[in-house]
C-alpha cells in the first residue's frame, strides 16, 4: 500500500515493497518517497555480468524487490557473519542507460533510484513502456541519513568478485528515504521541467552585462558555442 501525506503543498508517499503498479502510478514529480521492504543494488558490474556475460540472476528479484538503487554502500563485516551499512551513496544513473531496457524487462524492476536522473529521452523510450519511475536522492551528504533506513543486509552476491561498490546488495529497509520523484509513469521529468524554466530566463539575466575583462583560453559568451 502507499500512504500519502500533504504538508504545505509537498506530497509525501510511503511505499510498501515490492511496490504495486497502482501505487507507483500515483507518484508525482517533485513529491517525496519513503519505502519499507527490500531494495537491491545493481550497477555496471552486475549489468555486465548478467546482461553482457549471460550469468543467471542470483535471486528471484521479481518475488523479492522491484526497486533498483544505483549506489555504493559503506559496508563492513559485523563480526557475526553479517554486515553493517553505515551509509549508501547514490551514483549517476545516466552511465547505465544502455542497460536499462533489458534490465527492467528481465527483473520486473519498476523503481530506479540514483543521482542526477536518466537521459530525458530514456524516460519515454525505456521507463514508460515498463511502467517505471525514477527517484533521485536529495542533494549531497545524505548517505548517512539513508543508511539509517537500512535494517539489515538480507543477501549480498558477487562481493569477492566485484567488490563492495559493484556487488549486488539486498537491503531490508524501513522508512528508507527521503527520495524525490524525478520522473513519473508518463515520462514527465522534474529536472527537464525546471531546466526549461531556467533556460528561458538566462538570456534576460545576462542581457546588458558588460563583457568580462579577462578571458580564459577558449572561453566564450556565445551560448550556442558553450561546451557545458
| Domains of the chain, residue spans | 12-206
Distance from CA of residue 20 to its chain's centroid? Answer: 18
Closest CA to 131 of 123, 140, 139: 123
Greatest CA separation found in the chain?
66
CB 51 within 8 A of CB 102: yes
What does the alpha-carbon distance between residue 105 and residue 131 come to, in Å, rounded to a whole number? 11
> What is the CATH T-level fold of the domain 12-206, as seen in this structure?
fumarase (3.20.130)
Q: What are the pLDDT tens digits along the chain (228 aa)? A: 556 666 567 899 999 999 999 999 999 999 999 999 999 999 999 999 999 999 999 999 999 999 999 999 999 999 999 999 999 999 999 999 999 999 999 999 999 999 988 888 999 999 999 999 999 998 767 889 999 999 999 999 999 999 999 999 999 999 999 999 999 999 999 866 645 555 555 666 666 677 666 667 767 666 666 544
Tell the residue number behind the cell numbers 526549461, with chain if given. Answer: 196
pLDDT at 224: 66
pTM of the model: 0.85
Tell the residue number behind the cell numbers 531546466, with chain if given. Answer: 195
Closest CA to 88 of 170, 145, 138, 45: 145
pLDDT at 116: 87
What does the alpha-carbon distance between residue 25 and residue 228 come to, in Å, rounded to a whole number? 34
Q: Residue 202 contacts by C-beta under 8 Å, 6 or more apart in sequence?
A: 223
pLDDT at 228: 44
CB 133 within 8 A of CB 155: no
Strand partners, 88: 73
Amino acid at each position: 500500500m502507499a500512504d500519502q501525506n500533504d504538508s504545505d503543498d509537498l506530497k509525501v508517499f510511503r511505499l510498501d515493497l515490492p511496490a504495486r503498479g497502482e501505487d507507483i502510478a500515483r507518484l508525482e514529480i517533485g513529491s517525496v518517497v519513503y519505502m519499507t521492504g527490500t531494495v537491491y543494488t545493481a550497477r555496471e558490474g552486475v549489468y555486465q555480468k548478467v546482461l553482457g556475460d549471460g550469468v543467471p540472476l542470483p535471486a528471484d528479484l521479481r518475488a523479492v524487490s522491484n526497486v533498483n538503487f544505483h549506489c555504493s554502500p559503506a559496508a563492513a563485516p559485523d563480526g557475526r557473519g553479517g554486515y553493517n551499512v553505515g551509509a549508501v551513496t547514490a551514483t549517476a544513473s545516466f552511465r547505465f542507460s544502455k542497460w536499462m531496457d533489458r534490465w527492467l524487462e528481465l527483473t520486473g524492476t519498476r523503481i530506479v533510484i540514483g543521482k542526477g536522473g536518466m537521459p530525458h529521452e530514456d524516460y519515454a523510450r525505456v521507463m514508460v513502456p515498463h511502467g517505471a519511475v525514477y527517484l533521485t536522492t536529495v542533494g549531497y551528504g545524505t548517505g548517512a541519513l539513508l543508511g539509517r533506513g537500512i535494517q539489515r543486509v538480507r543477501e549480498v552476491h558477487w562481493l569477492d568478485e566485484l567488490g563492495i561498490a559493484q556487488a549486488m546488495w539486498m537491503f531490508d529497509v524501513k522508512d528508507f528515504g527521503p527520495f524525490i520523484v524525478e520522473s513519473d509513469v508518463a515520462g514527465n521529468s522534474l529536472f527537464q521541467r525546471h531546466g526549461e524554466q531556467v533556460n528561458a530566463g538566462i538570456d534576460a539575466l545576462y542581457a546588458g552585462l558588460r563583457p568580462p575583462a579577462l578571458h580564459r583560453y577558449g572561453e566564450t559568451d556565445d551560448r550556442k558555442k558553450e561546451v557545458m
